[in-house]
Structure 1
């Protein structure tokens, strides 16, 4: 229920926030709620990943990418993600999630998403996404980018992100 309420708030508030280009950094504000906490009274690890979903939705809506891909009946899925925790978030604390595209390859779009409280880094995640057609086939990244109006080459991905993305290939067995 907590995430459904947050999803509705994200959908409503994204309309009022500044429009963005898909390659801009999107900042989405949040607050730690009681049902975000674990037994140690800080935000539970799994909640971070759920909040990252909302940050990506905010970027897609504010950049008008969601409307464009939805018209094609495409949708994004997460294929790989990781997070590094630096500090804890506690009850009622305000924090921001920053979301930005850091690059792409022929099948995936990579995003960096960070949590910060009062300008201090709390956690940093990297997410690999792919867009699918309603029938299940993948949308090639060059087709996706052309459809949303991005016609520049990918920035160089950090070497560790390339290695991390390629290392998961062995898990297919």
Structure 2
């Protein structure tokens, strides 16, 4: 809840930029400038590892709004959900430190869309997260990519996925919700 003000400000800013400059290309790099706040810190005095995902959501909102995908999703009754994510940390973000969340669509496979988020200070990557997301219908079911691109009035021109991303997705996948997934430790 304590990220709500930054979320509302990010959404407002993205909508203003969309109105002023029009849609950006889906493979553009979105940038949201932030500062590490006291509520972002852990007991060691640097950004809490769990906070990164919440702040990277801001980059996702910004990019979805500024590419026009957000409006299409809302009009169609679709929404995006994160299916999996992995983050790698390189350097700590300290109190009051300015940083930029950079976000970019990487591509898709037959079921999911992949994004990369980075926390960047002075051009240097401090943390990087890859996200696998799906577009779902509020009425149930997954939105096929051909239907998504048709609704966006765009060709499917996202670049092919790098092989390591496909390997990561396969290696980190849990069983389908249609089958049992008991918690058994080996």
Equivalent position of 1:29 in the other structure: 33
2: CA distance between counterparts of 1:93 and 1:146? 42
Match of 2:130 among 126, 131, 155: 126
**Gaps (5+ residues) in structure 1?**
none
Establish whether residue 68 from structure 1 lines up as the match of residue 76 from structure 2.
no
CA RMSD of aligned residues (A): 1.3
Q: What's the offset of the Cα at 1:135?
A: 1.7
- Are the counterparts in 1 of residues 86 and 129 from structure 2 also a CA contact under 8 Å? yes
Equivalent position of 2:44 in the other structure: 40
CA offset digits 1:26-67 (Å, max 9, x no partner): 111111000000000000000000111111001011112101
- Are the counterparts in 2 of residues 106 and 142 from structure 1 also a CA contact under 8 Å? no
Alignment partner of 2:43: what SS?
coil
2: CA distance between counterparts of 1:148 and 1:99? 19
Equivalent position of 1:161 in the other structure: 165
2: CA distance between counterparts of 1:35 and 1:135? 36
Q: Which of structure 1's runs of 4+ aligned residues deviate more than 4 A?
A: none
Equivalent position of 2:178 in the other structure: none
- Are the counterparts in 2 of residues 87 and 122 from structure 1 also a CA contact under 8 Å? yes
- Are the counterparts in 2 of residues 105 and 154 from structure 1 also a CA contact under 8 Å? no
Q: What's the offset of the Cα at 1:146?
A: 1.8
Equivalent position of 2:10 in the other structure: 10
Task: Spell out the pairing of 1:49-64 with structure 2 (5 A cutoff).
Answer: 49-64=53-68
Larger Rg: 2
- Are the counterparts in 1 of residues 117 and 128 from structure 2 also a CA contact under 8 Å? yes
Q: What's the offset of the Cα at 1:120?
A: 1.1
TM-score w.r.t. the length of structure 1 is 0.94
2: CA distance between counterparts of 1:158 and 1:122? 22
